């Protein structure tokens, strides 16, 4: 029987994918804008480059099974540093969630529910995500297993139509039309965006029954992200051409509007909308759970449910405060470039330094 609040390797793969896929809302156009027609390759390589960092997290997790990276940091670096880092983690997670919510809120207001206030759609998604996050990581894992299959099916079912009607191989050849600098820039943006998965891995590692068994699952997860995100970007380039795809927003929703076969098959953008909504729900759930767990580290597990509500309320406030989809778009890119990845590396460095100073055995003893 599965242990409570532990997740399986398969669920770990899906968690990595679910925290990464939501970035598609801003990543596609931003990466294609920087790297041109080789953007799909940049997005394919980006997640692979994060594998060493993920393995690093697992390595630290092995020292104290059942503990998150923030808890391990608190063990090796003391309460003040540990809780300060956990506090920063909460802030970054809340910011990422709020921007994601604002982006999807904008999509729905513009294309689907023009008369419904944006805050209402944001609150509905956040409410559902908070319920799910509150039910624990095990239930999230199970839900993710089902929703991601659905998500991928509807997403590629929607865009797959474009392969029949709009695809043009000339849009992707020759692959390297721009310089190595642009390619590296696009790759770095992809790395920074997908680094959100590492943030969640900080918390997720506490739910691994034996972290040392999860190396293959983690590698598989990033490979999966590379293939799917790279495939999605490639699809948009093949259907629209790189210059056109660089101008699309909302994860390709507006591009899918134009897809049609004859007079009857149309409206496939609804599939993309459903896929994006599912992706956002999963991502918001994961980050809400992550920030909640980190908040519990800060407060020493004082009234944990209360802090779930507080985290959700702050997220809602932040999401509504963001002025527009455009602001959310540029703030997301800024976080991906300058905040997420540097923070992850910083935490891993100080945790490792603490472990080296204290000694791995001392950490194991304290666990």
Partner 1 sequence: MGLLSGLTGKHKKNGKKQPDRDPLPSEKQVRPISSYLDENISIVTEIFGEDAVTLRLKIGGEVQAGIAYIRGLVDNNTINQHILSHLLNNSAGEKPHPRYTLKNIIGSGLLTVANVKETDRLEQVIDGMLNGDTVLFAEGETIALLLGTKGYEKRAIDRPETEITVRGSAEAFIEDLDTNISLVRRRLRIPDLRFESYVIGRLSRTRVRLAYIEGVINPKIIEEARLRIQRIDVDYLFDAAEVGEFIEDNPMSIWPQIRLTERPDTLVANMIEGRFAVFVDGVPFVLLAPVLFWQNLQTLDDYVEKPLVGTFFRLIRHGAFYVSLLATPIYVALVTFHQSIIPPLLALRIAGGRETVPFPSIIETLLLNLAIDFLREAGVRLPRAIGSAVGILGAVVIGQAAVAAGLVSPALIIVVSIAAISTFAIPAVSLSNATRVANYLLILLAGTLGLFGVVLGMVYFLWGIVSMRSFGIPVFYPMAPGELYGLKDIFVRAPAWTMRRRPSLLAPDNQVRMGESAVKPGPKHRGGDGTSD
Q: Which residues of this protein are in contact with partner 1, per CB under 8 A?
A: 1-2, 8, 10-11, 108, 112-113, 116, 121, 124-125, 128, 131-132, 135, 139, 141-143, 145-147, 263-267, 269-270, 273-274, 277-278, 281
At closest approach, how far in Å is the CB of 9 from partner 1? Answer: 10
At closest approach, how far in Å is the CB of 109 from partner 1? Answer: 11
Of the pair 216, 342, the CB lying nearest partner 1 is at 216
> Rounded CA gap, 179 and 126, in Å?
41
Of the pair 193, 288, the CB lying nearest partner 1 is at 288
> Rounded CA gap, 102 and 54, in Å?
28
At closest approach, how far in Å is the CB of 282 from partner 1? Answer: 9
Sign, CA dihedral 317-323-324-330, equals negative
At closest approach, how far in Å is the CB of 198 from partner 1? Answer: 24
> Rounded CA gap, 50 and 129, in Å?
26
Of the pair 146, 356, the CB lying nearest partner 1 is at 146
Largest CA distance in the chain: 70
Of the pair 196, 269, the CB lying nearest partner 1 is at 269
At closest approach, how far in Å is the CB of 223 from partner 1? Answer: 18
Decide if 296 contacts 304 (C-beta within 8 A). yes
Of the pair 131, 330, the CB lying nearest partner 1 is at 131
Q: Minimal CA–CA distance to 198: which of 59, 56, 308, 99?
A: 56
Q: List, as one string, the DSSP characters of 150-174.
A: HHHHHHHHHHHHHHHHT--GGGT-S
């Amino acid at each position: 029987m599965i242990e409570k609040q532990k997740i399986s390797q398969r669920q770990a793969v899906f968690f990595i994918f679910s925290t990464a896929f939501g970035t598609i809302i801003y990543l596609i156009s931003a990466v294609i804008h920087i790297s041109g027609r080789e953007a799909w390759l940049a997005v394919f390589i980006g997640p692979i480059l994060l594998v060493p960092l993920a393995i690093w997290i697992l390595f630290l997790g092995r020292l104290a099974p059942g503990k998150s990276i923030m808890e391990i940091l608190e063990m090796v670096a003391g309460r003040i540093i540990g809780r300060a880092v956990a506090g920063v983690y909460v802030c970054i997670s809340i910011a990422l969630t709020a921007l994601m919510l604002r982006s999807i809120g904008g999509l729905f207001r513009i294309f689907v529910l023009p008369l419904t206030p944006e805050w209402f759609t944001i609150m509905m998604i956040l409410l559902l995500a908070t319920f799910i996050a509150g039910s624990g990581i095990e239930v999230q894992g199970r839900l993710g297993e089902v929703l991601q299959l659905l998500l991928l099916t509807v997403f590629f079912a929607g865009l797959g139509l474009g392969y029949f009607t709009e695809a043009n191989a000339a849009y992707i050849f020759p692959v390297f039309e721009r310089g190595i600098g642009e390619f590296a820039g696009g790759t770095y943006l992809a790395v920074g965006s997908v680094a959100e998965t590492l943030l969640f891995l900080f918390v997720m590692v506490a739910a691994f029954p034996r972290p040392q068994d999860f190396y293959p699952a983690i590698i598989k997860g990033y490979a999966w992200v590379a293939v799917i995100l790279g495939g999605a970007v490639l699809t948009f380039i093949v259907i629209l051409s790189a210059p056109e795809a660089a101008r699309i927003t909302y994860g390709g929703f507006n591009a899918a509007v134009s897809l049609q076969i004859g007079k009857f098959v149309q409206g496939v953008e609804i599939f993309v909308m459903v896929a994006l909504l599912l992706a956002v729900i999963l991502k918001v759930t994961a980050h809400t759970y992550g920030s909640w767990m980190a908040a519990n580290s800060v407060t020493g597990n004082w009234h944990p449910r209360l802090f779930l509500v507080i985290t959700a309320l702050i997220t809602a406030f932040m999401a509504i405060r963001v002025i527009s989809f455009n602001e959310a778009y540029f703030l997301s890119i800024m976080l991906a470039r300058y905040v997420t990845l540097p923070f992850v590396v910083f935490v891993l460095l100080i945790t490792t330094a603490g472990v080296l100073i204290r000694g791995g055995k001392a950490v194991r003893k304290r666990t």
